[in-house]
């Protein structure tokens, strides 16, 4: 099972959203991290055949993205997915099941099973317009899995979910990654940290890092510092270093930041986490030391 993305490019009038990305994805969970406008959604939409690339190609086991057979292997949860307000959750799934080529019998079984899985069994017959944001998101996740896809593309799947739902959903995705290619994008770094076997970092339309969590964090290992400084020093550090965390303490200010060498006498190096790397790259203004 192999999803090959070859020199994939999307150019809008004077902006390159995705810039010659080449990737080969196999079974596993891939976490796509990037700031707003980095090209994540454009990349995902092209992988799903929703957006036509300017150049390049996407193939799954040799089948082109434009073919029906490719879409038969695909499950997609868009960032702001739509729904029919007058449809019940159950009918919505039945409709998408027929769009995905399931027979009526299969559709009924699968819809019931997935509603149970995402905890919407009791609301199955309720109109979607009465659903909360989290319930709609869970329904979106259910529809993406209707055809038991080999490629599962999830754009911000945990947005709108409460902490319990998020954890439940993270576990579900982790399990799916065993025999599927799961590509998910999120702003919630900890989600990626917990479930992604491979992390893809995207910036300005390009993949700037790809690897396991420990590999990717290696870039800033030994460069993450914590210190408590007085108010005079705080402004200097904020202006000159990518700040990961600021906390006001009784008479001082606690800072967590990224720097090539200790930024002040009291600074101590601490183990880096993915969020440090994320903020290091996507900090406002991109202030890398």
Site residues (CB under 8 A) for other proteins? 45, 48-52, 66, 68, 71-72, 74, 76, 78, 80-84, 86-87, 91, 94-96, 98-104, 143, 147, 153
Buried b (16+ CB within 10 A) or exposed e, 177-187: beebbbbbbbb
Q: Report whether 240 contacts 288 (CB < 8 A).
A: no
SS3 230: coil
Q: What is the secondary structure of 78-140 as a DSSP string?
A: -TT----TTSBHHHHHHHHHHHTT--HHHHHHHHHHHHHHTT-GGGTTSBGGG--HHHHHHHH
Please state the closest distance from residue 207 (CB atom) to other proteins, in A.
22
Distance in Å, CB of 75 to other proteins, minimum: 8
Smallest distance, other proteins to C-beta of residue 48, A? 4
Please identify, using beta-carbon distances, which residue of 152 and 272 lies nearer to other proteins.
152
**Min dist. Cβ of residue 41 to other proteins (A):** 10
Q: Pick between residue 176 and residue 279 the one whose CB is nearest to other proteins.
A: 176
Question: Looking at beta carbons only, is 12 or 265 nearer to other proteins?
Answer: 12
Q: Least distance to other proteins from the beta carbon of 287, Å?
A: 35
CB contact at 8 A, 268 and 225: yes
In the structure, how many helices (H) and strands (E) does the chain have? Answer: 10, 14
Specify whether the CB–CB gap between 110 and 41 falls below 8 A.
Answer: no
CB nearer to other proteins: give 81 or 254.
81
Q: Which two tokens stand for residue 169?
A: 């959903």
Q: Which is nearer to other proteins, 86 or 116 (CB)?
A: 86
Q: Which is nearer to other proteins, 99 or 270 (CB)?
A: 99
In the complex, least distance from residue 50 CB atom to other proteins, rounded to whole angstroms: 5
Which tokens belong to 146?
Answer: 């209707």
């Amino acid at each position: 099972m192999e999803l090959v993305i070859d020199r994939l490019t999307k150019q809008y009038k004077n902006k390159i959203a995705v810039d010659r990305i080449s990737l080969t994805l196999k079974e596993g969970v891939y976490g796509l991290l990037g700031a707003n406008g980095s090209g994540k959604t454009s990349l995902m939409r092209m992988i799903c055949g929703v957006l036509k690339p300017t150049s390049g190609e996407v193939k799954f086991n040799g089948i082109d993205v434009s073919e029906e057979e490719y879409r038969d292997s695909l499950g997609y949860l868009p960032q702001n997915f739509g729904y029919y307000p007058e449809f019940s959750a159950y009918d919505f799934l039945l409709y998408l099941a027929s769009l995905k080529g399931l027979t009526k019998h299969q559709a009924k079984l699968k819809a019931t099973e997935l509603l149970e899985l995402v905890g919407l069994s009791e609301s199955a017959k309720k109109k979607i317009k009465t659903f909360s944001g989290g319930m709609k998101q869970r329904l979106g996740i259910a529809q993406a899995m209707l055809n038991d896809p080999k490629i599962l593309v999830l754009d911000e799947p945990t947005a709108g979910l409460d902490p319990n739902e998020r954890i439940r959903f993270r576990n579900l995705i982790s399990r799916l990654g065993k025999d599927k290619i799961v590509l998910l994008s999120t702003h919630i770094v900890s989600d990626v940290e917990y479930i992604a076997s491979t992390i893809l970092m995207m910036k300005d339309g390009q993949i700037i890092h790809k690897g396991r969590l420990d590999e990717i964090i290696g870039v800033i290992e030994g460069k993450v510092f914590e210190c408590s400084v007085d108010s005079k020093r705080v402004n200097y550090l904020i202006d000159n270093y990518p700040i990961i965390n600021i906390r006001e303490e009784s008479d001082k200010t606690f800072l967590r930041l990224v720097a090539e060498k200790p930024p002040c006498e009291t600074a101590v190096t601490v183990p880096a986490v993915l969020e440090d790397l994320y903020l290091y790259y996507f900090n406002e203004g991109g202030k890398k030391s």
